[in-house]
Structure 1
Amino acid sequence: MAAGRFDYESVFDEDYIYFMSERLGDTQSDADVALIDELFGKRPGDLLDLACGHGRIANRLARRGYRVTGLDSSRLLLDQAQADARAFDVSVEYVQGDMRDLHWTERFDYVVNWFGSFGYFDDQHNMLVLEQAARALRPGGTLAIEMPDYSSLLRHYQPASVIERDGDFLIDQNSFDPLTGRSTVQRTIIKGGQTRRAHFFVRLFTYVELKEWLTTAGFREVRGVDESGGPLTDGSRRMVVLARKQERPVSIPSRSSGTPSASRQGPNRQPGQRA
């Protein structure tokens, strides 16, 4: 199957919510948010939900006291997220945008990218997503990326999968290309007697490869856990990779003058960055 184009609007629409409502319902969403809160030490702060979808993570984190901004490319999903935020009685800033082009600099304590929402582009632009996340984080901030565990997914890789709801069907035909690391999906939706198709792909990563990418993007202290927050093993079904942005070096007073020395930030410090 050819890689083709990622058909975002046809993949992330009302049918996505319809067919995924059970899999991504309250039980799973509550468990996801409890894990995120635990991994962040239950210390609410400013958080960006990157590729937030219909807000199932963002709204629940806001209810736990996080100051949440959600970004997604789908207006339809963002409208649903805003409606759900009103039902949750929480305040979340929802922004339509592209995760490769964020407009924040050192704005957040945390960035979350959940449920396999990383890897939608070619490698150059996937790396750009990590670099943009690093820029959006304050020094010492943490990025959390959740995705399928590479080895487990390949061991149980299925050429096709089917979701049925009330006589409607979502059928995925899957293929994996080991030369690109991409899992490509041809999706067929049969709903209300109508049939339509959509195409998408996701770049898969081993923990070791993603750790190297994160280090290149400017992160430090990278670690991986499984879907329960426990150690990542060859039996893990999914993995969460946590990466901490490097702290800004502290200025050291000069011994000779008693005045602060020049910052050791170096020549790459940008005008307007927080001191």
Structure 2
Amino acid sequence: MTEPVADPAALFDDDYLYFFEERLEGVSDADTDRIWKVLDLAPGMEVLDLGCGHGRIANRLAERGCRVTGLDLSGTFLERAREVAAARGVTVEYLHEDMRNMTWSGRFDRVVNFGNAFGFFDDADDQQVLAKVAEALRPGGRFLLETINYPRYVRDWQPSSVEEHHGDLVADVHRLDPLTNRSIATRTTIRDGRIRREPSSHRLHTYTELRDWLRGAGFTSIDGFGEDGAPLTAEHRRLMVVAGR
């Protein structure tokens, strides 16, 4: 069966920032603390924020003394990331690129993929991304992939959700496809009298599946944690997979 895919650049644009940036900024300091701890980061380390979005993590890591590269497919997000970096007085190398096209070899001490930024391509491409991450890391480097914790997601699953911001609305209607393990949705945005619909398809993974994919990509040590940093349980909302070379 052909797996449906989405266009991340179309999904993550100015409308997304309008509805969700404020909320994300509210948790970004805590998210950065969590990343710093679980990856054992230190000033001076070379870090790749893969799927960096609008730079909420990359800019904070740079403030703490890391040498950060941010890569994303959304030009809108990168423009915002650069604006914030300038306002904060930090330097981040932001690249407008598809993560499937990475060509680094042994450059980074750490790679971060945070906040559901993995799973928008088909399985073969996603597995190739993991192989490219392994190649981009120096020996002894570590990779953090943070996403939905599948058992909790299935238990709490709802077929629709609505967000309101200053009288504007964004609504997602979605279904879970058990044949592809994808959440397939249509997002309807109503903003300033304009109506826009955009399809999406996000691949969901269990910890064991990601563990096996990471092993296949060349990682040798793989651990799973919840959003609190404790060993993963079915009750955790978020999954953090930490893999080392």
TM-score normalized with structure 1 length = 0.86
- After superposition, the C-alpha distances for 1:192-251 in whole angstroms (9 at most, x for unaligned) are 011001111111111111100000000011001111111211110101000001xxxxxx
Q: Which has the larger radius of gyration?
A: 1
Contact 1:49/1:68 (CA < 8 Å) preserved in 2? yes
Unaligned runs of 5+ in 2: none
Structure holding more helix per residue = 2
C-alpha distance in structure 1 between counterparts of 2:57 and 2:79, whole Å: 15
Is 2:9 aligned against 1:9?
yes
Secondary structure at the counterpart of residue 23 of structure 1? helix
* Residues 136-175 of structure 1: pairs in structure 2 closer than 5 A: 136-175=136-175
Secondary structure at the counterpart of residue 176 of structure 1? strand
CA shift, 1:3, in A, is 6.4
Indicate the residue corresponding to 2:185 in structure 1.
185
Is 2:229 aligned against 1:229?
yes
Is 2:26 aligned against 1:30?
no
Residue identity matched to 1:242: V
Indicate the residue corresponding to 1:41 in structure 2.
40
Secondary structure at the counterpart of residue 197 of structure 2? strand
Between the two proteins, what is the percent identity of the paired residues?
47
CA shift, 1:90, in A, is 0.5
Indicate the residue corresponding to 2:77 in structure 1.
77
Unaligned runs of 5+ in 1: 246-275
C-alpha distance in structure 2 between counterparts of 1:241 and 1:166, whole Å: 36
* Residues 201-240 of structure 1: pairs in structure 2 closer than 5 A: 201-240=201-240
Is 2:239 aligned against 1:243?
no
Contact 2:9/2:75 (CA < 8 Å) preserved in 1? no
Number of residue pairs matched by the alignment: 243
TM-score normalized with structure 2 length = 0.96
C-alpha distance in structure 2 between counterparts of 1:239 and 1:48, whole Å: 20
CA shift, 1:5, in A, is 4.4
* Residues 127-138 of structure 1: pairs in structure 2 closer than 5 A: 127-138=127-138
Q: 1:5 to 1:148 in 2, by over 3 A?
A: closer
Q: 1:55 to 1:97 in 2, by over 3 A?
A: same
Indicate the residue corresponding to 2:110 in structure 1.
110
Query: What value does the CA root-mean-square deviation take over the aligned residues?
Result: 1.2
Secondary structure at the counterpart of residue 21 of structure 1? helix
**Higher relative CO (CA 8 A, sep ≥ 6), structure 1 or 2?**
2
* Residues 47-66 of structure 1: pairs in structure 2 closer than 5 A: 47-66=47-66
Contact 2:6/2:202 (CA < 8 Å) preserved in 1? no
CA shift, 1:117, in A, is 0.6
Contact 1:171/1:187 (CA < 8 Å) preserved in 2? yes
CA shift, 1:4, in A, is 4.5
Contact 2:189/2:197 (CA < 8 Å) preserved in 1? yes
Secondary structure at the counterpart of residue 117 of structure 2? coil
Residue identity matched to 1:236: H
C-alpha distance in structure 1 between counterparts of 2:216 and 2:24, whole Å: 32
C-alpha distance in structure 2 between counterparts of 1:37 and 1:4, whole Å: 34
